[in-house]
With several copies, the nearest count.
Chain A
Amino acid sequence: MKKFIDSPDTLLQTSLQGFAKAHADIVQFNPDPRFVYRNVRKTGKVALISGGGSGHEPLHSGFVGVGMLDATCPGQVFTSPTPDQMLAAAQAVDGGAGVLFIVKNYAGDVMNFEMAAEMLDLPNASILIDDDISLPKTHSIGRRGVAGTTIVEKIVGAAAENGADLATCKALGERVNRATASIGVALSSCTVPALGHPTFAIADDEIELGVGIHGERGRETVKMMSASEIVEQLAGHIVDELKPAAGQAVLLHVNGFGATPLIELHLIYELAWQYFSKRGLIIQRSLVGNFTTSLDMAGCSLTLTLLDEDMQGLWDAPVNTAALRWGC
């Protein structure tokens, strides 16, 4: 393993200190229990709190700021955070209008957020993100939450900023989540610092279709394909899932897993754009880049969200975070 690291034990904490310094105009970092929270707070606003294992940066801490999240609770690399982090974060950013937890559907995240919710002495609700269609809808623990999380957090973040109440935010988040489908492909595994070697082995001419974001193997190992063939596979699954009508407005998100250069992500975007356009979809909004990463994994995912006017307006609303910024 070659990484910039002093010790796996200090990586996360030191990195978060750096993150907070580099974005001191937007966020602050509370070291123990560990949470990142925004500088600008509003009373009467629903507080949005997300979190999960680290190693997916900029998700989630890169999304803390005006128009998006109020706080995040970073766990150890690929390990869900603990309830005390969520409780402390909630106390710190509560604005009197309740707390909404945005949780990716993983056993550890679900259970730890659930424990926090049970203990929290404030009105609260949770949204479970489960946009990863590489697993069947009927999967025993439901589908995973992956890159669609960014879309949900942005849109609900805008609504909360505009003063929507807790129930409205929750319902909106669930609506966006239902309108969103993602699927990913890995060209390489990733290396968890504490482990020091790649999580799975993959041959030079093989790729993993339907991977999650923790370096776990995907749904199937297949032979390497051209970018066009890969896009056809991924986009085909998404169309099968969402069954969008011709003329439907969509948001197309090409998400890199960390080690895939932008030149390739924009190629994938163009090919996906052509694929969806041919099927009559109107690509109204786009997001291309490394947002929900798996450390140093090479690969990417496609995410499509069926937009209505409301969602599109909230997507366009001002946001000022480390990783997403526009309109302000």
Chain B
Amino acid sequence: MSLTPSLFPELIQALIDDIAAHAEEVTELDQAIGDGDHVFNLQRGLQALHEHASEIAPLDWVAAWQKIGMTVMAAVGGASGSLYATLFIALAKSGRDKVIDISGFSDAFLQAVEAVKLRGKAEVGEKTMLDVLVPVALALRDEAAAGKSLAEILDRLCQVAADGVEATRDMLATKGRASFLGERSKGHIDAGAKTAQLMITAIAAVLKKSCD
């Protein structure tokens, strides 16, 4: 894989645009069963990354992930801030001893998602961003192992992410603020799952374009 963090400025811009386009929708979701700040938290993080984009672009992946993690950690706050910071710091840690091709990345990503589960003391099925991150990580591993093309893999991940979001709708929230609502949390999509999906899809679009 010839992808490098030089793509990073473009990726961040795509994420900023995509989250902005869905800001109201996400806020409505987080207001229904959370506290309504999720989109602002994410946007603060993306903005901070945007400001550091030119520093990150020349780095190797491991250094880039570390820097992304530290930037998110200091900029975001909230539940999602610590979880995404954990994701990237763990990605850097488990990527350190790997060749970052698709297969190396899929391993590292799976380990990073495990770190998120540990940080949040959460599992799949609790109506959180993990309901997107975990199936996406698993699908990535499987597709990579099956030797699919990058384009095929990306399409598959987008599909898995979309399914993951939709699955949160009928779940009972048992982690995060939505859990305070008990049964009242059912019938609403989780905001953090939704933004995870949006970001994965936006990243996929950029990657597909850059590999054409």
Interface size class of A (residues with CB under 8 A): 35 or more
Measured between C-beta atoms, what is the minimum distance from A210 to chain B in Å?
Answer: 9
Which residues of chain A come closer than 8 Å to B9, judged between CB atoms?
Answer: none
Is A108 a contact partner of B82 (Cβ separation < 8 A)? Answer: yes
Interface string of B45-85 (1 = CB under 8 A from A): 00000000000000000000000000001111111111101
Asked, given contacts A112-B77, A115-B86, A217-B181, whether A107 binds B175 with beta carbons under 8 Å apart, the answer is: yes
How distant is the Cα of A84 from the Cα of B179 in the complex, in angstroms? 28
Is A140 a contact partner of B73 (Cβ separation < 8 A)? Answer: no
Which residues of chain B come closer than 8 Å to A200, judged between CB atoms?
Answer: 31
Asked, given contacts A84-B73, A107-B177, whether A215 binds B35 with beta carbons under 8 Å apart, the answer is: yes
Q: Is A299 engaged at the interface, CB distance under 8 Å to the other chain?
A: no
Which residues of chain B come closer than 8 Å to A192, judged between CB atoms?
Answer: 35-37
Partner of B79, one of A111, A215, A217: A111
Is A107 a contact partner of B120 (Cβ separation < 8 A)? Answer: yes
What DSSP secondary structure best describes chain B's contact surface? helix
How distant is the Cα of A124 from the Cα of B76 in the complex, in angstroms? 24
Is B31 a contact partner of A82 (Cβ separation < 8 A)? Answer: no
Which residues of chain A come closer than 8 Å to B77, judged between CB atoms?
Answer: 53, 75-76, 79-82, 108, 112
Measured between C-beta atoms, what is the minimum distance from A211 to chain B in Å?
Answer: 9
Q: Is B44 engaged at the interface, CB distance under 8 Å to the other chain?
A: yes
| Residues in A71-127 with C-beta less than 8 Å from chain B | 75-84, 106-108, 111-112, 114-115
Is A115 a contact partner of B82 (Cβ separation < 8 A)? Answer: yes
Is A115 a contact partner of B85 (Cβ separation < 8 A)? Answer: yes
How distant is the Cα of A107 from the Cα of B175 in the complex, in angstroms? 8
Is B175 a contact partner of A140 (Cβ separation < 8 A)? Answer: yes
Q: Is A199 engaged at the interface, CB distance under 8 Å to the other chain?
A: yes
Closest to B43 in A: A194
Is A76 a contact partner of B37 (Cβ separation < 8 A)? Answer: yes
| Residues in B19-52 with C-beta less than 8 Å from chain A | 27, 31, 34-37, 40-41, 44
How distant is the Cα of A217 from the Cα of B121 in the complex, in angstroms? 24
Which residues of chain A come closer than 8 Å to B31, judged between CB atoms?
Answer: 195, 199-200
How distant is the Cα of A236 from the Cα of B76 in the complex, in angstroms? 38
Q: Is A67 engaged at the interface, CB distance under 8 Å to the other chain?
A: no
Q: Is B119 engaged at the interface, CB distance under 8 Å to the other chain?
A: yes
Partner of A140, one of B27, B37, B80, B174: B174
Is B184 a contact partner of A106 (Cβ separation < 8 A)? Answer: no
Which residues of chain B come closer than 8 Å to A76, judged between CB atoms?
Answer: 37, 40-41, 44, 77-78
Is A106 a contact partner of B177 (Cβ separation < 8 A)? Answer: yes
Is B74 a contact partner of A214 (Cβ separation < 8 A)? Answer: no
Is A79 a contact partner of B41 (Cβ separation < 8 A)? Answer: yes
How distant is the Cα of A200 from the Cα of B35 in the complex, in angstroms? 10
Is B78 a contact partner of A79 (Cβ separation < 8 A)? Answer: yes
Which residues of chain B come closer than 8 Å to A195, judged between CB atoms?
Answer: 27, 31, 36-37
How distant is the Cα of A192 from the Cα of B41 in the complex, in angstroms? 13
Measured between C-beta atoms, what is the minimum distance from B12 to chain A in Å?
Answer: 19
| Residues in A165-211 with C-beta less than 8 Å from chain B | 192, 194-195, 199-200
Is B35 a contact partner of A214 (Cβ separation < 8 A)? Answer: yes
Measured between C-beta atoms, what is the minimum distance from A207 to chain B in Å?
Answer: 16
Asked, given contacts A108-B81, A111-B119, A111-B120, whether A135 binds B37 with beta carbons under 8 Å apart, the answer is: no
Partner of A199, one of B36, B74, B80: B36
Measured between C-beta atoms, what is the minimum distance from A134 to chain B in Å?
Answer: 8
How distant is the Cα of A114 from the Cα of B119 in the complex, in angstroms? 9
How distant is the Cα of A203 from the Cα of B31 in the complex, in angstroms? 17
Which residues of chain B come closer than 8 Å to A135, judged between CB atoms?
Answer: 180
Partner of A214, one of B80, B82, B121, B177: B177
Partner of B78, one of A33, A80, A84, A141: A80
Which residues of chain B come closer than 8 Å to A148, judged between CB atoms?
Answer: none
Interface string of B80-121 (1 = CB under 8 A from A): 111101100000000000000000000000000000000111
Is B35 a contact partner of A111 (Cβ separation < 8 A)? Answer: no
Q: Is A229 engaged at the interface, CB distance under 8 Å to the other chain?
A: no
Q: Is B135 engaged at the interface, CB distance under 8 Å to the other chain?
A: no
Measured between C-beta atoms, what is the minimum distance from B2 to chain A in Å?
Answer: 34
Which residues of chain A come closer than 8 Å to B175, judged between CB atoms?
Answer: 107, 140-141
Closest to B40 in A: A194
How distant is the Cα of A83 from the Cα of B80 in the complex, in angstroms? 13
Known: A114-B82, A192-B37. 5 other contacts (CB 8 A): A79-B78, A80-B78, A108-B80, A195-B27, A195-B31
21 cross-chain CB contacts under 8 A: A33-B74, A53-B78, A75-B78, A78-B37, A80-B78, A81-B77, A82-B73, A106-B177, A107-B175, A107-B177, A111-B79, A111-B120, A115-B119, A140-B175, A141-B121, A141-B174, A195-B31, A199-B31, A215-B36, A216-B34, A217-B181
Q: Which 4 A-B pairs have the closest CB atoms?
A: A111-B82, A140-B174, A108-B79, A108-B78
